[in-house]
Structure 1
Amino acid sequence: MAQNQKSGRVTIKEVAEDAGVSVAAVSKVLREAYGVSEALKTKVRASMKKLNYRPLATARGMRGQTFTIGVTFPDLRNPFFADILAGINSALERTQYQLMLGVSLSTPLIEETLIDSMIDRQMDGLILVGTTVNPAFLEPTASRKPLVTIGHHVEGESSFDTVNNDDRLGAILVVRHLVANGYRKIAMLSLNSTTSTLITEREHGYRQAMGDHGLQEHVQILRVGQTLREVQTATRRLLQSPDKPDALFCWTDFIALEVISIATELGLAIPDDLAVVGYDNTMYCDFAQNNLTSVDQSGEVLGLQSARLLIERIRGRQEAEHFVVTPRVVARGSSLAVGGRGMGQGS
């Protein structure tokens, strides 16, 4: 009895016979080899579907490709990551690539372990979203597997690709928006991270814009962890202080929505007592109870571009590419000009 009869698996030879082509031709389609005609792809894929052919990942790995991509996220609670994931999926849906997901909990050691495990499992390439690993870890990783990072700013990097929002500009636009609406005591609720270049860029942008508007004396950056308990404690302390801000710029919508909740619990009106601005422009910003002003950094575009660049790397591109999205502020009710604040007052 043949091995395929024992296992119940359809073989590449059977696909070739059904399609009326050679085994080599089927192999080329499976490998997405250069120069394969659309007609041949259509014919082979039709036979694969008809016969329910599924190539063994282990066998593919022995031939040099598994058509799997490893994607790491620092967290799954942040709704912005769902936007990025949707973009990656959209880019992969017309390819043979499948993604495998890992969550690092914003812990460098966990992320490094995930990356090593993905490489050990012969994944063809990696996309690291909001990486928290030491930058020195990334270059040797890129020498082992094609690599793209999202939300990691690095100048002159040639060993891997990056996909970013212009985070410094995004923070500048937030301060500019709030100043135009009459707010002056603008604080920033940031992430307590020593490795996130994304956070560093946003903090630089915030400081720069506050200085540009003559508001250096009101610069206040509060760095907290990602757990809700830490955010709640820090927010209550800040909003109950004698010198509380009149506007709060939060590094992500996920945190900004919690700030609105805490402020409301403390009896503060949004935006009359406190303006709140988030970052990411996730779908929850539009909900009437939130009405959250936020920076749109096109999460799906970031995902799409990262997958595009990674596949190009896998197929042999050597030169590094660095894709940057220009952010924009989407103004909603949480930062409206109130009490005549925005009536042409200077900074």
Structure 2
Amino acid sequence: MPVEDKQKLQRNERVTIRTVATHAGVSVAAVSKVMRNAYGVSEALRAKVTDAIEALGYRPSRAARGLRGRSFTIGVLLIDIRNPFLPEVIAGVNGVLAPSHYQAMIGVSDARVQLETSLIESMIDYKMDGLVLVAPRLPSEIIAKFAVQIPIVTVGYHDAGATAFDTVNADDQRGAEIAVEALLACGYRDIEMLSLGEREGHAVSVVRQREIGFRRAMQRSGLGAAPIGKIPIASPRREDTMRKFLARKDRPRAVFCWSDLDAITLLSLAMEMGVRVPEDLAVIGYDNSSTAALGLVNLASIDQSGRELGQIATRALISRIEGRTASEHILQVPSLVNRNSLTRSKGTKHDG
């Protein structure tokens, strides 16, 4: 379509999905399928519709979509934006949405149930088509009630018995076992875990799942009930707890941290206090964050591939939106990325 015709069309009438369908010579349903990146759309159809959208300058009205029951918007709710694992999850979500006409809207809570509930309700009120909840703190029965109103997929929430919503996780129990096995393989026997405080104790959380795996691996190796230290949520108590750990006369020879979030802080404090890593203390974190790979950090860490988890969760959510009702519970196997905080050898990656 010549530019002058396109401008005339835009001046005189609003370009609608029907206009696009007529211009492309296809049905409205076909245009809709291309826009939501539906399964089975041929490249020829996609090209026709895309060319028509570009030629007409079509921009779908999100308000109208919401009134019709589809906004092509997905809500992503994060609990703790400080965690370096989260950008990878978001990148995975956006990677799947990029070729589609869905967009992600991100909400950030701060581990308060009331705020988390309020954000979910707001996302529902804004007619979002589905929600990805990353490490939610809500009880399963409350998430299930929301899932009656809107398709939901959770990441970092181990409830394999849920029927109203899907779960996508790394196998956190196995991840902790891999960490212990790596420490044992390096000759360490005096091993502890640093975990989060008791108020993070709901059984479906990644924190508690990693504790289960740690205890099981230690008992299986004949080391018995190994101690698990608790790190408080709030600073400066968080750093104070780690300082006390490093200053202990009976400090263990090796430590597995529940997350890179605290393992990196531990490395920094160890350097400050003159504790050599790994000569005095071997350290393994969890998440394989981008910071862990920096040369000055060099933290061995369990890689749960946050980007892949975000991709899988988004595909599962779109499948839910398209009508799937049977629940799915997906577990990905994590792996160890070996760096200098474990051994001084060249970094390698070992699958679990």
Scaled by the length of structure 1, the TM-score of the pair is 0.89
1:91 corresponds to:
96
Contact map agreement 1:108 1:134 (CA 8 A) in 2: no
Query: For 1:136 and 1:16, how far apart are their aligned partners in 2?
Result: 43
2:129 corresponds to:
124
Pair 1:215–1:33, CA change in 2 (3 A): closer
Contact map agreement 2:37 2:99 (CA 8 A) in 1: no
Contact map agreement 2:176 2:210 (CA 8 A) in 1: yes
Query: For 2:288 and 2:35, how far apart are their aligned partners in 1?
Result: 39
Question: Which of residues 145, 150, 159 in structure 2 aligns to 1:145?
Answer: 150
**1:291 offset after TM fit, Å?**
1.2
1:300 corresponds to:
307
2:212 corresponds to:
204
Which SS does the other structure have where 1:313 is aligned? helix
Query: For 1:200 and 1:23, how far apart are their aligned partners in 2?
Result: 49
Contact map agreement 1:74 1:105 (CA 8 A) in 2: yes
Contact map agreement 1:181 1:337 (CA 8 A) in 2: no
- What fraction of aligned residue pairs are identical, expressed as a percent? 45
Counterpart code for 1:266: M
Contact map agreement 1:224 1:234 (CA 8 A) in 2: yes
Question: Which of residues 236, 243, 248 in structure 1 aligns to 2:250?
Answer: 243
CA deviation vs aligned residue, 1:94-116 (integer Å, no higher than 9, x gap): 11110010111222222111111
**1:334 offset after TM fit, Å?**
0.4
Question: Which of residues 110, 134, 138 in structure 1 aligns to 2:139?
Answer: 134
Question: Which of residues 329, 337, 340 in structure 1 aligns to 2:336?
Answer: 329
**1:37 offset after TM fit, Å?**
5.2
Name whichever of 30-39 and 133-142 sits farther off: 30-39
Asked if 1:257 is matched to 2:264, the reply is yes
Query: For 1:200 and 1:22, how far apart are their aligned partners in 2?
Result: 51
Question: Which of residues 55, 62, 68 in structure 2 aligns to 1:57?
Answer: 62
Aligned residues: 335
Pair 1:32–1:294, CA change in 2 (3 A): closer
Contact map agreement 1:12 1:26 (CA 8 A) in 2: yes
CA deviation vs aligned residue, 1:132-172 (integer Å, no higher than 9, x gap): 11222111111111111111111322211111111111111
Query: For 2:182 and 2:231, how far apart are their aligned partners in 1?
Result: 24
Pair 1:171–1:36, CA change in 2 (3 A): closer
CA deviation vs aligned residue, 1:77-107 (integer Å, no higher than 9, x gap): 2221111111111111111110010111222
Which SS does the other structure have where 1:158 is aligned? coil
**1:208 offset after TM fit, Å?**
1.1
Pair 1:32–1:168, CA change in 2 (3 A): closer
Aligned pairs for 1:23-62 within 5 A = 26-27=31-32, 29-30=34-35, 38-62=43-67
Counterpart code for 1:311: I
Pair 1:33–1:300, CA change in 2 (3 A): closer
Pair 1:23–1:186, CA change in 2 (3 A): closer
Pair 1:228–1:248, CA change in 2 (3 A): farther
Name whichever of 20-29 and 140-149 sits farther off: 20-29
CA deviation vs aligned residue, 1:299-343 (integer Å, no higher than 9, x gap): 1110110011000110011111111111111111101289xxxxx
CA deviation vs aligned residue, 1:14-45 (integer Å, no higher than 9, x gap): 43454345656545654667876543332222
Contact map agreement 2:130 2:152 (CA 8 A) in 1: yes
Unaligned runs of at least 5 residues, structure 2: 1-7, 346-352
Pair 1:169–1:116, CA change in 2 (3 A): same
1:183 corresponds to:
188
1:67 corresponds to:
72
Query: For 1:315 and 1:25, how far apart are their aligned partners in 2?
Result: 15
Query: For 1:175 and 1:23, how far apart are their aligned partners in 2?
Result: 56
Question: Which of residues 159, 166, 170 in structure 2 aligns to 1:165?
Answer: 170
**1:64 offset after TM fit, Å?**
1.3
Which SS does the other structure have where 1:59 is aligned? helix
**1:58 offset after TM fit, Å?**
1.2
Which SS does the other structure have where 1:334 is aligned? coil
1:272 corresponds to:
279
Query: For 2:189 and 2:29, how far apart are their aligned partners in 1?
Result: 68
Aligned pairs for 1:210-249 within 5 A = 210-216=218-224, 219-249=226-256
Counterpart code for 1:109: Q
Counterpart code for 1:215: L
Contact map agreement 2:155 2:169 (CA 8 A) in 1: yes
Contact map agreement 2:194 2:230 (CA 8 A) in 1: yes
Query: For 2:106 and 2:220, how far apart are their aligned partners in 1?
Result: 42
Counterpart code for 2:206: L
Scaled by the length of structure 2, the TM-score of the pair is 0.88
Unaligned runs of at least 5 residues, structure 1: 339-347
2:4 corresponds to:
none
Name whichever of 23-32 and 72-81 sits farther off: 23-32
**1:51 offset after TM fit, Å?**
2.6
Query: For 1:27 and 1:277, how far apart are their aligned partners in 2?
Result: 48
Pair 1:138–1:171, CA change in 2 (3 A): same
Contact map agreement 2:36 2:100 (CA 8 A) in 1: no
